Structure 1
Amino acid sequence: MSSLIWLVLLSCSTLVISTKNASDSNASQGKSIFILAGQSNMAGRGGLKSGMWDGYVPPECESSPKILRLNADNKWEEARPPLHRDIDYLKACGIGPGLAFANSILKKNLSIGEIGLVPCAIGGTQISEWRRGGPLYKQLMSRARAALQGGGIIRAILWYQGESDTRSEEDAKLYKTRLAKFFTDIRFDLKLPELPVVQVALASGEGPYIDDIRKAQLGIDLPNVKCVDAKGMKIGYDGLHLSTEGEVHIGQMMADAFAQFIA
């Protein structure tokens, strides 16, 4: 589905900040920043019924003064669900994996300081819409750079996307190449060649090529890319989006995967 995307254009110089093996002292001077990107299961559809969020916040997704969110105006605020409410604003948003991820990271005592979440996911988008130079890519880069103002470290990209690419055999065949290029382009443009990526292998899809997309996701052979598998996660009433329980579980799995980068 094509989406109307608002663009925030920033006039700023490229900031070069090392993410891997950054010292704890550097982390304490700014935020540990995580970019949340992809489509609807990253934006969060947990708890949606009849197009509305039920308002339930599981304990794993409760707010904390140590977890911030970059809002649509590129201002930091305490993170509360739904994280993507003013980003993926053409659809109703509910519980996603972001806060479960952040709270799980805090409990691991990884000494990475304050957590800054940067929501960028847009529901219904295909990997081709995230290509370098397109509106979604530009928005992600703009928000990533805005997040760095005032100091901080981009620790990882959290990526959950691919359901829309299951509709077409051609898109499924090209998915692995397109995904690898997307990750490579982000690293190059942020000047973070070793930037960790934690992605999710699909639990569901919009078409018949789910297994093809999953094979591509699980088979990415780029360095510093980890894939957690959503297969078997509880799906919501619509048969496509993860339930609140599923979103929480995936967020925790992504936190476990990220922790391996800095163990």
Structure 2
Amino acid sequence: MFAFFWLMLLFYSSLVTTQDLSHDYVLQGKNIIILAGQSNMSGRGGVINNKWDGFVPLECHRNSSILRLSAGLTWEEAEEPLHRDIDVVRTCGVGPGMAFANSVLAKDPSLGVIGLVPCAIGGTNISEWRRGSVLYNKLIQRANAALQGGGIIRALLWYQGESDTVIHKDAELYKGRLDRFFDDLRSDLMSPILPVIQVALASGKGPFIEIIRKAQLETNLQNVKCVDAKGLPLEPDELHLTTLAQVELGKMLADAFLQTVPLPVQSNAPKRFNNFILDFLREPFW
């Protein structure tokens, strides 16, 4: 009886270690989230005069269950600024990605591991994201690299359009270009109903902000959701969201994303096994 008892404990210990600590297990089970768009997605929270103040809110702190695909296409533990080696022309600060991931895991720990794939580049027009462009091809390359070793692309988070508010023709053509971008991306990622969560502009570089916002808010493609950033606090440049505004946006994106995730189906096996061990310990075995 002693031998059986200890064998059970050894098996239970190895089960927990395999599920909780295995590097390969973590990579195979990751939920991949693509972050794309322009500067408010890459993050300028806390950046004044091209210098980041270094402040990281609690909601954006590191979490061993949140990974980041680096510019070198390797997975590492994520930390702010997420886009530091991606959007390299200007200084990056806090964006919505870390607050999003921490909020998602706080509300649904069963998701396990989130793998963030930063792709946003500041100052980019929607036409620069068309199929075949440098930015588009780089996004596809990074998304495919993220899939190596396992995992599933769960969503695209998209925040872009400020650069399209300058010229009236760009603003008028925005809706068609945006819909085409989403369709092409889903096709090339072989995920026809990939959830897309886009952000309706809080600001813009030109006078045609409302035309862009209308296009974003009225997007009617399947499985495309929109969260509205209008009214969130801006940095002194009146273009970029503040650090705390990015935290709020991250939480909004998390709530929208969780609406796309099926209710978690958690196995009762570990619980049953725990109960078995407890019942076994209550029985006399000497």
Q: What residue number does 2:46 align with?
A: 47
Per-residue deviation at 1:237? 1.2
**Would you say 1:221 and 2:220 are equivalent positions?**
yes
Counting matched residue pairs gives 238
Per-residue deviation at 1:29? 4.0
User: Aligned partners of 1:247, 1:257: CA distance in 2, in Å?
Assistant: 15
Q: What residue number does 1:64 align with?
A: 63
User: Aligned partners of 2:222, 2:188: CA distance in 1, in Å?
Assistant: 17
Q: What residue number does 1:85 align with?
A: 84
Gaps of 5+ in 1: 1-25
Deviations 1:183-216 (A, max 9, x none): 0001000100010000000000000000000000
Per-residue deviation at 1:80? 0.6
- The amino acid that maps onto 2:29 is G
Deviations 1:124-170 (A, max 9, x none): 00000000000000000000000000000000000000000000110
Q: What residue number does 2:162 align with?
A: 163
Deviations 1:224-245 (A, max 9, x none): 0000000000001111000001
Where 2:110 maps in the other structure, the secondary structure is: coil
**Would you say 1:36 and 2:39 are equivalent positions?**
no
User: Aligned partners of 1:215, 1:227: CA distance in 2, in Å?
Assistant: 11
- The amino acid that maps onto 2:203 is S
Deviations 1:14-52 (A, max 9, x none): xxxxxxxxxxxx999421000000000000000011211
When the two chains are superposed, the root-mean-square deviation of aligned CA atoms in Å is 1.3
**Would you say 1:111 and 2:98 are equivalent positions?**
no
- The amino acid that maps onto 1:209 is F
What percent of counterpart residues are identical? 64
Q: What residue number does 1:146 align with?
A: 145
Gaps of 5+ in 2: 1-24, 264-286
**Would you say 1:96 and 2:95 are equivalent positions?**
yes
Q: What residue number does 1:192 align with?
A: 191
Per-residue deviation at 1:105? 0.4
User: Aligned partners of 1:27, 1:169: CA distance in 2, in Å?
Assistant: 47
- TM-score by structure 2 length? 0.82
Closer, same or farther in 2 for the Cα pair 1:112/1:31, shift >3 Å?
same
- The amino acid that maps onto 2:258 is A
Per-residue deviation at 1:111? 2.0
User: Aligned partners of 2:216, 2:145: CA distance in 1, in Å?
Assistant: 29
**Structure with bigger RCO (C-alpha 8 Å, 6+ apart):** 1
- The amino acid that maps onto 2:189 is L
